[in-house]
Amino acid sequence: MAHNRNGGMELRILRYFLAVVEEQSITGAAEYLGMSQPSLSRQLREFESRLGCTLFERGSRTITLTPEGELLRERAEEIVTLADRAEAEITSMEEPVGGPVYIGAGETDAMRLLARAARAMTSCYPQARFHIYSGNTEDVTSRLDSGLLDFALLFEPYDTTKYAYITLPVCDVWGVMMRRDDPLAAQESITVDDLKRLPLIVSQETRFDREFGAWSGMGQSDLRVVGTYNLLNNGALMVSEGLGYALCLDRIVNVTGDTNLTFRPLSPRLEARLNVVWKSDRRFTRVAACFLQALREELAASAIAPGPSRI
């Protein structure tokens, strides 16, 4: 591997590698890094030699990653991010409370509660910075477990044994997004029998299968699925263009104003509860600890009592 004299992989060469991935060419990466193309090429070939594998397939105009390169990209991003984060946390220890807070979340209107806490906190600690990662439950929990996130906003159910958490006193509601000019928009709610007849666009998350299956007694194989989504905004575009009906949570996509979309809840009602979670053994930075306190204060000030918690 590209080792320093103490035997560890060098951050420098990992940054070079990630620059090539980002620019999709060694020439572009060299320009971005402010170094010569021959020097960068030589160091990357030495890196590959030490690893004993090829990381790039070099084309005439662009490069593509080999399977080994894809694996290294994922690990290198984590390593470089953690290194940068550690440096930022250490350098901020002697300064007023500030620095980064990393939060992961799926798409949910409940993110407003965290945003309000962040806004209140920055009035006291203007040097705080909030970095939001949007993804599905698997993505977010993976980043939380690896130390890339301080907090995650997760839908139940999830593995509660690894985390401390606060259950938020709000929930999202499952329903169907459709065009406003659709005949079903005249109904107040959507039933299982309605769904059986519709071309559906559904969530890729495995928790959807569990929750919907328990509610309806059906699986995706019993439905006419014409598409899937992992984040809803693109799914909403498919609905808008008439591809189908999106089974989704409410208040993620704006269905008011001049949009041609509307939302109807499922009947019987199907709710999704949410928790703010963090690793039980995590040592918080000062700014992360302040954010957690700000969230508790926001819930209290809003006259919204938090649900169960485990700390």
Q: Which of 310, 292, 311 is nearest to 113 (CA)?
A: 292
Do 279 and 236 fall within a single domain?
A: no
Q: What is the pLDDT of residue 160?
A: 80
Per-residue model confidence as pLDDT tens digits over 95-153:
667 888 999 999 999 999 999 999 999 998 998 999 999 998 889 999 999 999 999 99
SS (H, E, C) the chain: CCECCCCCECHHHHHHHHHHHHHCCHHHHHHHHCCCHHHHHHHHHHHHHHHCCCCEEECCCCEEECHHHHHHHHHHHHHHHHHHHHHHHHHCCCCCCCEEEEEEECCCCCHHHHHHHHHHHHHHCCCEEEEEEECCHHHHHHHHHCCCCCEEEEECCCCHHHEEEEEEEEEEEEEEEEECCCHHHHCCCECHHHHHCCEEEEECCHHHHHHHHHHHCCCHHHCEEEEEECCHHHHHHHHHCCCCEEEEECCCCCCCCCCCEEEEEECCCCEEEEEEEEECCCCCCHHHHHHHHHHHHHHHHCCCCCCCEEC
Do 178 and 242 fall within a single domain?
A: yes
Q: What is the pLDDT of residue 7?
A: 42
Structure tokens at 212: 């919907």
Do 278 and 266 fall within a single domain?
A: no
Q: What is the pLDDT of residue 2?
A: 47
Do 178 and 262 fall within a single domain?
A: yes
Q: What is the pLDDT of residue 96?
A: 65
72 lies in some domain: yes
Residue 199, preceding peptide bond in cis (omega within 30° of 0): no
155 lies in some domain: yes
Q: What is the pLDDT of residue 6?
A: 42
CATH number at residue 44: 1.10.10.10
Q: What is the pLDDT of residue 5?
A: 44
Range of the domain at 182: 172-271
Q: What is the pLDDT of residue 310?
A: 63
Do 195 and 258 fall within a single domain?
A: yes
1 lies in some domain: no
Average pLDDT per consecutive 10 residues, the chain (311 residues; last block may be shorter):
51 92 90 92 91 88 89 90 79 73 94 96 92 92 93 89 92 96 97 95 83 85 91 94 96 92 97 94 89 93 61 57
* Domain final residue pick, 35, 65, 86: 86
Number of domains in the chain: 3
Do 212 and 265 fall within a single domain?
A: yes
Query: Which residues lie below 8 Å from residue 234, measured CB to CB, with a gap of 6+?
Result: none
The C-alpha atoms of residue 74 and residue 63 are separated, in whole angstroms, by 17
Do 209 and 80 fall within a single domain?
A: no
Do 164 and 146 fall within a single domain?
A: yes
pTM of whole model > 0.75? no
3 lies in some domain: no
Q: What is the pLDDT of residue 95?
A: 64
- CA diameter of the chain: 71
Q: Which residues of 191-204 are buried (b: 16+ CB within 10 A; e: fewer)?
A: eeebbeebebbbbe
Do 156 and 278 fall within a single domain?
A: yes
6 lies in some domain: no
Q: What is the pLDDT of residue 31?
A: 92
- Cβ proximity of 264 and 187 under 8 Å: yes
264 lies in some domain: yes
Q: What is the pLDDT of residue 93?
A: 65
160 lies in some domain: yes
2 lies in some domain: no
Q: Which of 114, 110, 164, 168 is nearest to 304 (CA)?
A: 168
